[in-house]
Amino acid sequence: MKRIAVLGAGNGGQTLGAHLSLMGHSVKLFEHPDFARTVEAINSKGGIELYGSIEGFARLELVTTSIKDAINGAEILYLVAPSFAQVPIMRMSIPYLEEGMKIILIPGNFGSLEILRILKEEAPGLDVTLAETDTLTYACRMDEPGKVNVWGYKKGLSIAALPGKRTGALIEVISDCFPIELRPADNVLEVAFSNLNMIVHCSTVLLNVGRIESTGGDFRFYTDGVTPSVGRLQEEMDRERIRIGRSYGMDLVRALDWIRSIYPVSGESMYELLSGNPIYARHGADAPKTVSHRYVTEDVPYLLVPVDCLGEASGLSSPVIRSVITLLSTVTEKDFLSEGRNLGKLGLEGLKPEEMMSIIRGERNSKGGRRQS
């Protein structure tokens, strides 16, 4: 039995916390004080009910808005929160972090790099292991706080530690307290580049803007929203993603192959694979109600922007990805390129690709000196 803190009590956090508790682990669940009503509702029920692909009522050790109480005594911290919440939650956590803690971002979306930069500034000398996965564990929807419909879950997730040389040891520690298979990736850059939300979410919203605004999202996002033309845009964005990844020494899996590997689907195009996915098709209208949805406000600044910036740093342009960023910035009245996870926020500004990869793998620190461990 491991002592675990799950930070974030949205759909994914409640499901993970409850699932791990049902597996026999000691779990504390934290939610930001701004969402105290969620904590109150769960505590009033005495736990969390999961139904669907996972069945059971989980009684957690603690559900709280106190980050100190949640982290105290924990060996492993699973940060399951939207990308925009990762840094605020970690800043709240810093005074209570202890040497040797394992902090896993689910999903990471390049967040481990930004958090490492902050830890170097605000807690110099503290040795914790950061890591991130490529996506969420579950496809789920919260009916109400404390009750989650679990539609399904992935066959496995990719994970890497920061620095990358710690990945094997990290998986040894957490493999018995994670509900699905963890597949080691070479480094966190490879993991973040593998989050295909940037491909499937952003493009589908962009090409369905009129439909979203006129119907309030009254359509099936993948089943109805992904047409052959949408699929072609996704495939070109994917080619740019793979080309940029190759410039950093990464041999990334095509979106087509990845989707076939984790879902019970078959097809030769993104259109065929996404529109025919039974996990999503059977749940009725599930499209965003507005364009200012996390499919845009999270996936553009925290995924597409760093990919585009890393491409630029390696001398590669990504005209389709940049166009999607520009158009979605325009329709949401945001400046995602400056607000998102650019190289400055990742602590990689001014570095050559080989210097970035040396830091990410753990061969040197961001000051240029050699690491000792």
Write out the DSSP string of 296-356: HHTHIIIIIHHHHHHHHHTT---HHHHHHHHHHHHHHT--HHHHS--HHHHT-TT--HHHH
Q: What share of the chain has pLDDT > 70, as a percent?
A: 97
134 noted as active-site residue: no
Q: Which amino acid is at 74?
A: A
Among candidate residues 134, 238, 286, 299, the one labeled active-site is: 299
Residue 133 is predicted with a pLDDT of 95
Q: Are strands 156-162 and 129-133 parallel, antiparallel or unpaired?
A: antiparallel
Among candidate residues 201, 238, 293, 308, the one labeled active-site is: 201
Between residues 263 and 188, the one the model is more confident about: 188
Predicted TM-score of the model (pTM)? 0.90
Instruction: Write b or e for each residue in 86-125: b if 16 or more Cβ atoms lie within 10 A of its Cβ, otherwise e.
Output: bbebbebbeebbeeebbbbbbbbbbbbbbbbbbbeeeeee
Instruction: Report whether pLDDT(371) > 70.
Output: no
pLDDT single digits (tens) 183-234: 999 999 999 999 999 999 999 999 999 999 999 999 999 999 999 999 999 9
pLDDT single digits (tens) 38-79: 999 999 999 999 999 999 999 999 999 999 999 999 999 999
Residue 368 is predicted with a pLDDT of 39
Residue 7 is predicted with a pLDDT of 98
Cα dihedral across residues 265, 143, 59, 31: positive or negative: positive
Residue 365 is predicted with a pLDDT of 59
pLDDT single digits (tens) 150-167: 988 887 889 999 999 999
Q: At what angle do helices 255-262 and 228-247 cross, to 10 degrees?
A: 110
283 noted as active-site residue: no
Arithmetic mean of pLDDT, 133-152 = 92
Confidence of residue 367 (pLDDT cuts 50, 70, 90): very low
